[in-house]
Amino acid sequence: MGISHYIRIWLTSARYSIVRTLMFRGDFFIWSMVELFWMTVNVLMVSVIYDHTQSLAGWTKYEMMLLVGTSMLIQRFLMGFFWSSIFEMGRNIRTGNFDFFLAQPGNVMFMATTRKIDADSLANSIVALALVIYSAAQLHLHPGPLDLAIYAVLVVCGVVIHYSVLVLCIAAAFWVTSAQGIEGSYFTLSEFSRLPREAFRGIAYGVANLVFVWALPMVVVSNVPASALIHGLDWRLALWVVGMAIAWFGLATWVFHRGLRRYSSASS
């Protein structure tokens, strides 16, 4: 099946999700406000910290705002396009409703992880993007079309890495009774994406630097695109992020299909 086939499937699913959202406008409004409140708390926390210091790990106030905005943008895209589908996947595996996806014509992983979109998260991605633009204006940055294209590619790579880690967490449901505890580990890891990479330097943070910057690149997924706008592109780090996106997606795909074979044999 060609790409156009999957695009049509995704557009149909997106249209269904939007129609369903319009049927429950109150739910959409409440969750949009909850996410907006969470984002506002993070921005206010940065403002409070910088009321007492001029620099944190070499990052000024609006550089940190741009970093936080980039992290939020990546997370809002992840939550908007994939989270509901991936979260339900674990429940469907436990209940046997995952057979629905096995019966569909197309790639099972695509069908299972892109069935729904969250309009409230996508709406708040505009707020995150506005924070990035505002911070860039305060820093007097004037990125050209190539700079913006590179930033967009790095943000997409960040979404792919987060998506892959989340799929790996949920795919554990193929082997264990419940993956709810593992699901929560994703949110713990994602908290590191709002920290500067420089904060992990030094002997005392050597292990944390190895784990959260390189082994599990939750820090660089937001740091590299933000730094590319602020200081210019570091090709070595950019290639590292692209390579890690490919590697993590490949690993997630391999583990998912290994689990899928286990699920198929169990249901037969």
Tell me the pLDDT tens digit for each residue of 11-39: 888 888 888 777 777 777 887 787 788 88
- Place 255 in a pLDDT band, splitting at 50, 70 and 90: very high
pLDDT above 70 covers a percentage of the chain that reads 86
* Residue 130 reports pLDDT greater than 60: yes
Residue 64 vs residues 141, 178, 252: alpha-carbon distances, Å:
14, 37, 31
A 10 A CB-CB count for 101 gives 20
As given in the structure block, the two tokens for residue 229 are: 């706008």
Answer with the residue of higher pLDDT: 69 or 185: 69
Distance CA 69, CA 127 (A): 9
CA atoms within 13 A on the CB side of 14: 11
The domain segmentation of the chain, as residue ranges, is: 3-267
| pLDDT confidence bin for 155, thresholds 50/70/90 | very high
Residue 172, number of CB atoms within 10 A of its CB: 17
More confident residue, 34 or 116: 116
Rounded Cα–Cα distance for residues 225 and 15 (Å): 31
pLDDT tier at 70 (50, 70, 90 boundaries)? Answer: very high
Position 147 scores a pLDDT of 92
CA 52-55-57 angle, to 5 degrees, is: 125
- Chain centroid to Cα 225, Å, comes to 14
Q: Specify the range with the lowest mean pLDDT, choosing from 109-113, 201-205, 220-224.
A: 201-205
pLDDT at position 152, please? 95
Q: Per-residue DSSP letters for 130-195?
A: HHHHHHHHHTT----HHHHHHHHHHHHHHHHHHHHHHHHHHHGGGTSS--HHHHHHHHHHHGGGGS
pLDDT surpassing 70 at residue 212: no
DSSP state of 50: H
What does DSSP assign to residue 200? Answer: G
Q: Indicate the burial class of 203 (C-beta count within 10 angstroms; 0-12, 13-18, 19 or more).
A: exposed
Residue 203 pLDDT level (bands cut at 50, 70, 90) = very low
Q: pLDDT tens across 90-104, in order?
A: 788 877 778 888 877
When the pLDDT of each residue in the chain is averaged and rounded to a whole number, the result is 83
